[in-house]
Amino acid sequence: MSASDSEKRAEEGDSDGGGGGGEGGGGAVGGELLYCGGTSWETMGRKVVGGATGNLVAPTRLRPLVGVDVRFVASGCTACHCVALDVEGRCYTWGRNEKGQLGHGDTLHRSLPTIVSQLSKYKIVKASVGKNHTVVVTEDGKSFSFGMNKHGQLGTGSVKNEIEPSPLPCLVSEVTNAVCGADFTVWLSSVEGSSILTAGLPQYGQLGHGTDNEYNAKDSSVKLAYEPQPRPRAIATFSEKTVVKVACGTNHTVAVDSNGFVYTWGFGGYGRLGHREQKDEWVPRLVEVFQRHNVLPPNAVVSAGATNSACTGGGGQLYMWGKLKTTGDDWMYPKPLMDLSGWNIRCMASGNMHHVVGADDSCISWGHALYGELGYGPLGQKSSANPKKVDILDGMNVTSVGCGYGFSLIVVDRTNAGDRLEQLEIYDGDPSSEGVEKSNNANAAATKNTPTTAKSSARNSKRRKKDLSESEEEEEEEMDDDDDADEDDDDGDEDDDEDANGDAKRGRKPSSRGRGGGGGKRGRGRPKAAERSANEKPASSGRGRGRGRSGKRGRPGRR
């Protein structure tokens, strides 16, 4: 990159933010949006019998955005909905909508991008996505939000209504950017002395105000609760500094000031804060690695995933820290990712446990995938421990990327794509999901009954053909217990997809822990009833014993 190009990038992206929203893709030039990952919005990220279907395992064009000049995309590491902005400032949203997070004034899922009509009189230039809420920024410095507001994450100053399905103005002025964590929001402002403001859930100190606002829910109970912060509040630590970049993970925040210094705060598990310890930080703390001769340049890319953080330092070198893979040691402080040394990284986003990068004329992805979000295609590998090029996009310029829970958004420049875009598939959506309201109760019933009914029918047929043993009958009871648990998981509670540490659960696919996983297949490894000797007692159900991740149950004949 030439010096003039660097200066131009610095001017365009000086206050860009990361999170799951593809930091670094803030230029005015638009391109074609490509999508890969899951399409079953009601079931993605949830423990549902039968799992999600209809995954797009290769980059795919979306019918409403074919030929539309998209300049920015956003999602979040715990989110199952998406935002795309075109060069005209129109805002498109699609995905899960149980909490009104799509901004259309209802709770209907959208399988394809749909313009948010209530924002049509504004030119939207920035957007970010939390678990169940969305925040956008207009060209003239206004900010609007919609979706779940239980913790005050919409920044409207009120928590009276838990769900706000239509855009509402945030109580922040002169906004330059907004970035969302799972249940909180960070705004950047050009107001002197208040360059960064936060609102929402303060549980792990991710708001940066020196407290987690914890209290006992009842005098006679040890149950803890956290007082919401519904009004955006400036972080005192930065009162004499100017924050120019910010990225949010599930419950942690990464920020860069105008001098190139990096600060992190919030939940410290797995070393995602980069301080060589797993300690929660309630106020911004300087990351020691990025000082002296290693401060971040103006065009640096900053990103945060569910359990990790990343940024580009001097020379464009990518540094990462936290939990990067499902196996192996955590990186307790920033380390250079040598696989990407020498690459000119323009944009990056991280999901629950996968990463997508736009660099040079390639799209690079890696991590643990559940729904084909790495885009390697039907013949490619499902997951990758190391960065790997998405072959079908080789030679294309990626201008913006976004990652959600089980999907990736990629914007490619048409100028050097030639006619190769015409060779990609076009997704027309799921007709069965359009116009059907997915309210909390209805969705809970759907996720419980619909997949289970089909399975139950098949099991009833087998039961008529076979003489099930007592152990198999106990197994039926166990599966029923699972179904009840599924209903509890999908009852609309905002904590569905996170554990107590604020980390997104990797296992919201059919459980493989003590439940015979393997996509819902059951009964493998047991001898037929006719083959058992007359003197042999059937093996007990052995709940939770001898069941591996492959979904096979205990070895036959065990007593």
Read out DSSP for 171-206? S-SSEEEEEE-SSEEEEEE-STT-SEEEEE--TTST
Residue 20 · residue 305 · CB < 8 Å: yes
Band (501; pLDDT cuts 50, 70, 90): very low
In whole angstroms, what is the distance from residue 275 CA to residue 78 CA? 24
The predicted model scores a pTM of 0.76
Residue 401 · residue 348 · CB < 8 Å: yes
Q: What is the mean pLDDT of residues 522-548?
A: 39
Residue 49 has a pLDDT of 64
Burial label for 441, CB within 10 Å (0-12, 13-18, 19+), is: exposed
Q: How far is CA 132 from CA 183, 371, 478, 530, 537, in A?
A: 8, 20, 31, 52, 51
Max mean pLDDT range (211-220, 431-440, 507-516, 524-533): 211-220
Q: How far is CA 93 from CA 97, 116, 144, 434, in A?
A: 10, 7, 14, 14
Q: What is the mean pLDDT of residues 65-75?
A: 97
Strand partners, 186: 179, 198
Residue 287 · residue 296 · CB < 8 Å: no
Tell me which DSSP letter residue 463 carries: H
Band (215; pLDDT cuts 50, 70, 90): confident
For the stretch 395-447, pLDDT in tens is: 999 999 999 999 999 999 998 887 899 999 999 987 665 444 433 333 333 33
Residue 310 · residue 292 · CB < 8 Å: no
Q: How far is CA 491 from CA 46, 178, 441, 496, 498, in A?
A: 11, 29, 6, 8, 14
pLDDT, averaged across the chain: 80
Q: How far is CA 57 from CA 160, 168, 359, 381, 419, in A?
A: 41, 36, 21, 10, 21
How far is C-alpha 6 from the chain's CA centre? 30
In whole angstroms, what is the distance from residue 12 CA to residue 24 CA? 9
Strand partners, 124: 138
Residue 79, SS3 per DSSP: coil
Q: Of the given ranges (77-91, 162-176, 312-326), which has the lowest mean pLDDT?
A: 312-326
Helix, strand and coil in the chain, % to nearest 5: 15, 30, 50
Residue 369 has a pLDDT of 94
Residue type, 345: I
Residue 20 has a pLDDT of 47
Residue 51 has a pLDDT of 60
- The more confidently predicted of residues 9 and 425 is 425
State yes or no: pLDDT of 191 exceeds 70: yes
State yes or no: pLDDT of 530 exceeds 90: no
Q: Give first-to-last CA distance, the chain, whole Å.
A: 68
Encoded tokens for 166: 């239509």
For the stretch 121-152, pLDDT in tens is: 999 999 999 999 999 999 999 999 999 999 99
Q: What is the mean pLDDT of residues 365-386?
A: 95
How long is the chain? 559
Residue 276, SS3 per DSSP: coil
Encoded tokens for 215: 């209290």
Residue 456 has a pLDDT of 41
Burial label for 385, CB within 10 Å (0-12, 13-18, 19+), is: middle
In whole angstroms, what is the distance from residue 305 CA to residue 49 CA? 27
How far is C-alpha 81 from the chain's CA centre? 9
- For helices 440-465 and 470-489, give the axis angle rounded to 10 degrees: 170
In whole angstroms, what is the distance from residue 403 CA to residue 82 CA? 9
State yes or no: pLDDT of 345 exceeds 60: yes
In whole angstroms, what is the distance from residue 456 CA to residue 448 CA? 12
- The more confidently predicted of residues 81 and 529 is 81
b/e code 200-239 from CB counts within 10 Å (16+ = b) = bbbbbbbbbbeebeeeeeeeeeeeeebebbbebbbbebbe
Write down the residue that tokens 């939770």 correspond to.
Answer: 544
Give the residue from 197, 203, 202 showing the smallest Cα distance to 255. 197
- The more confidently predicted of residues 51 and 545 is 51
Residue 444 · residue 490 · CB < 8 Å: yes
Encoded tokens for 426: 């076009």
Contacts for 197 with CB less than 8 Å, ≥ 6 apart: 155, 172, 186, 187, 189, 232, 233, 234, 235
Could you give the count of Cα atoms lying within 13 Å of 437 in the half-sphere of its Cβ? 9
In whole angstroms, what is the distance from residue 391 CA to residue 373 CA? 14
